[in-house]
Amino acid sequence: MEMVCRILGPHAHFIDVVHVRVPGIYGPAKGRPLPARMALLVRPAATALEKVYGEIAGNGGHVYISDMFRSTVDQQRAYQDYMIGRKPAYSPPPCASVHEAARAIDIDPFDTGIGHRRVREILRRHGWTNIVESLCGPECWHYEFRQHTWQEYHNRHGYQAMAHAMKLAIGNTAGLVTAQTQQAAIAWLQEALAEILGRKLPIDGVFGPQTREAVREFQRQYGLQADGVAGPITRNKISTLIGKDL
């Protein structure tokens, strides 16, 4: 496949979202188009990515995409894999991921032809933000198209609120009730762990690395398997200690 990003046309339901054709990592060999259900971006992000591909190809490089748009079902699956420890890299819950807002890409950072550092410079120049500074660690492959407005929103309200607002901005309201239920359950867990362990925890309803480490600490203290997974045995033990069910 030619090393280009092409805008194919508007999405039928989402606001200012377009279908794109980009080289993906899937199939017998890299370079086949990213699956159509994933190949969606808001139009400004797609236009910027066109320029990114043009510049990278002009410098003799290449970029393969592993992830772009995620449906609520896809995001829930990725989050669940993280929750049970099947996926080590953090995935946000539904309605808290920029992937659901058609403003995120994951690239193969280890196969670019010109080095990830150079690719990152080109992505940044065209408005794509990397969320970690590392060029080879977890999430080094993840980039978001925030623009100034959304970056300011992030600075004022935090990441989860930004991702949620981005998703609503394109008219993607799928999974809101499920997300609220999950958020309440995680907030309960965080409050309970903070009380039992006598330590501060963010009570934000997001099962992030701090919460996972708190679960591990609790499990170690009470003789449970310290896997950081808040399964039924761990939750039941917490409920017994605080005298309150979820």
DSSP assignments along 35-96, one per residue? PTTT-EEEHHHHHHHHHHHHHHHHTT----EEE----HHHHHHHHHHHHTTS--S--PPTTS
Render pLDDT for 34-72 as a digit per residue (tens, 0 to 9). Answer: 999 999 999 999 999 999 999 999 999 999 999 999 998
In angstroms, the CA 72 to CA 178 distance is: 10
Rounded mean pLDDT, 69-81 = 89
Tokens (6 digits) for 106: 């994951």
Q: Domain of 141: which CATH number?
A: 3.30.1380.10
Does residue 232 form part of some domain?
Answer: yes
In a domain, 40, yes or no: yes
Domain membership of residue 63 (yes or no) is yes
Specify whether 201 is located in the same domain as 148. no
Share of the chain above pLDDT 90, in %: 70
Q: What is the pLDDT of residue 1?
A: 64
Q: What is the mean pLDDT of residues 76-87?
A: 83
Domain assignment present for 197: yes
Considering 111, 143, 169, which residue would you say is the last residue of a domain? 169
Q: In the predicted model, what is the mean pLDDT of the chain?
A: 92
CATH code of the domain containing 219: 1.10.101.10
Q: Which residues pair with 106 in a beta bridge?
A: 67, 142
**How many CA atoms does the CB half-sphere of 34 hold within 13 Å?**
29
Q: Is 69 within the bounds of a domain?
A: yes
Non-local (6+) Cβ contacts of 4 within 8 A are 22, 50, 53, 54, 57
Cβ-contact 206, 97 below 8 angstroms: no
Same domain, 163 and 180: no
Domain count within the chain: 2
Kindly state whether residues 209 and 104 are assigned to the same domain: no
Residues 129 and 201 in one domain: no
Residues 6+ apart with CB under 8 A from 156: none
Confidence class for position 33, pLDDT limits 50, 70, 90: very high
Which of these three, 169, 197, 225, is where a domain ends? 169
Query: C-alpha 10: how far from its chain's center?
Result: 23
Do 117 and 78 share a domain, yes or no? yes
Q: 76, 97 in Cβ contact below 8 A?
A: no
Q: Is there a domain that residue 1 lies in?
A: no
Does 157 lie in the same domain as 67?
yes
Domain of 232 in residue numbering reads as 176-242
Please tell me the distance from the alpha carbon of residue 79 to that of residue 94, in angstroms, as a whole number.
8
Low-confidence winner among 19-33, 104-118, 170-184 (lowest mean pLDDT) = 170-184
User: Does 74 lie in the same domain as 153?
Assistant: yes
DSSP 120-154: HHHHHHTTEEESSS-SSSTTTTEEEE-HHHHHHHH
pLDDT band at 27 (very low <50, low <70, confident <90, very high): confident
Q: What is the pLDDT of residue 95?
A: 87
Residue-level pLDDT at 54: 97
Which residue shows structure tokens 């239920």? 181
Does residue 163 share a domain with residue 183? no
Are residues 11 and 119 part of one domain?
A: yes
Residue 183: predicted pLDDT: 79
**Residues 78, 114 share a domain:** yes
Q: Of 85-94, 149-158, 192-201, which gets the smallest average pLDDT? A: 85-94
Residue 246 pLDDT grade (very low, low, confident, very high; cuts 50, 70, 90): low
154: confidence class by pLDDT, cuts 50, 70, 90:
very high
Q: Which of 148, 132, 152, 149 is nearest to 140 (CA)?
A: 132
Q: Are residues 132 and 24 in the same domain?
A: yes
Residue 168 tokens read as 């609503």
Q: Does residue 112 form part of some domain?
A: yes
Q: What is the pTM of this model?
A: 0.78
- Statement to judge: residues 182 and 62 lie in one domain: no
Lowest mean pLDDT among 85-94, 182-191, 205-214: 85-94
* Residue pair 64/121 in contact by the 8 Å Cβ criterion: no
Alpha-carbon separation of residue 114 from 47, 133, 154, 228 (angstroms) = 22, 18, 31, 38
Res. 229 pLDDT band, cuts 50 70 90: confident
Q: Which among 169, 192, 211 is the end of a domain?
A: 169
Please, what is the angle between helix 232-242 and helix 176-197, to 10°? 60
